[in-house]
Amino acid sequence: MLARPPLTRRLLHSLSNSGLLLPIGLIVIWQAADRATPRFLPNPADLIHVTIGLSAHGLLAQDLLASVVRMLCGFAAGATGGAIIGIALAASPRLHTLLGPAVSAWRQLPIFSLVPLLTLWFGLDEKAKIILIALATSIPVMLNAYEGVRAVPKKYTEVADMLHLNPLSRLLLLQAPAAMPFLLTGLRQGMAFAWMATVASELFLAAAPGLGAVIMAGQERMRPDMIIIGISLIGGVGILMNAALTGAIRWVLPAWRATDQQDNLS
């Protein structure tokens, strides 16, 4: 029997394997080097203290919830719209001729350049924010949905031809399912874009609770601790949402993947 390695080494080993060694190590060094840190960099222990203080009043939770809800509203609208437009463009050659050039010009436009216009039209409130988030989400979703439908293998479209599937059956039974892996990739990118746009909209168009507003308040009150807490929460939420979506994709896709492997073999 081999002797079990000491606990500390096992702990270190599992930390480095999970990729947590670097961040945790940095936090430890950060805390240890407290005296040497500049004036506007609070140490981790202070941050935890402040976080608990802010949460006690329910403020952070309110901001977190406001941002997530905002993001989900914009994401839902943008993903639905993007998927519909992408699929329609790919399925209808006529629509593609009509809208194709406009769409490719639109996708090149940096979305945040629209902020001033959106503010003029919709003011500083929720409407403008959600529209910005939806627009940001829609572009990657639309492009991937389009690619997915275009990439439907000819061997399947020939089957649909032989069976006289009408456009609706074709969409439901062939194009949408075949485009699913692409669509899910688009949703993942779209969610990253949505979260980015959520924070940006809160920075540009404050005047409502949100994690972006927490950061802005921190800047105004010269409170770097608030800014760092805001950033950490934004990063954490992003990681969690991406993990959730990736998990959902893994759960949905096995049937598709099994087919690909089969096709590669034959």
Partner 1 sequence: MIASSIKLAPASALHLVQGAQQGRGQAVRLVDVGKTYTISGRALPVLRDISLNINAGRFVTIVGASGCGKSTILRIIAGLEKDFTGSVRIGEQAVNGPSFDCGLVFQDHRLFPWLTVRQNVAMALRARKLPTEQRNALVSAHLDLVRLNGFEDAYPHQLSGGMAQRAAIARGLVNEPSVLLLDEPLGAVDALTRLHLQRELQRIWMTKGTTMIMVTHDIEEALLLGDQVVILQPRPGPAQQIIDVNLPHPRSGDENTLLALRKKIFATLHVGDEDETKTGGGSTATRQPP
Residue numbers at the binding site for partner 1 (CB under 8 A): 155-156, 158-159, 161-166, 169, 173-174, 177-178, 180, 255-256, 258-259, 262-263, 266
Rounded to a whole number of angstroms, the minimum distance from the CB of residue 165 to partner 1 is 6
Three-class DSSP category at 223:
coil
What is the distance between the alpha carbons of residues 73 and 138, in angstroms, rounded to a whole number? 12
Instruction: Tally Cβ neighbours within 10 Å of residue 78.
Output: 28
Nearer to partner 1, 101 or 153 (CB): 153
Closest approach of partner 1 to the CB of residue 50, in Å: 51
CB of 117 or CB of 159, closer to partner 1 = 159
Nearest to 93 by CA among 16, 14, 150: 150
> Which residue lies nearer to partner 1 by CB, 174 or 227?
174
Q: Which is nearer to partner 1, 3 or 255 (CB)?
A: 255
Q: How far is the CB of 265 from partner 1 (least distance, A)?
A: 10
- Determine the length of the chain: 266
Q: Cβ closer to partner 1: 1 or 255?
A: 255
Are 194 and 94 within 8 A, CB to CB?
no
Interaxial angle between packed helices 59-91 and 44-56, expressed in degrees from 0 to 180 and rounded to the nearest 10? 90
C-alpha 16/C-alpha 46 separation (Å) is 26
CB of 90 to partner 1, least distance (A): 18
Query: Counting beta carbons within 10 angstroms of the beta carbon of residue 171, is it exposed (0 to 12), middle (13 to 18) or buried (19 or more)?
Result: middle
Work out how close the CB of 193 gets to partner 1 at its nearest, in angstroms, rounded to a whole number.
Answer: 27
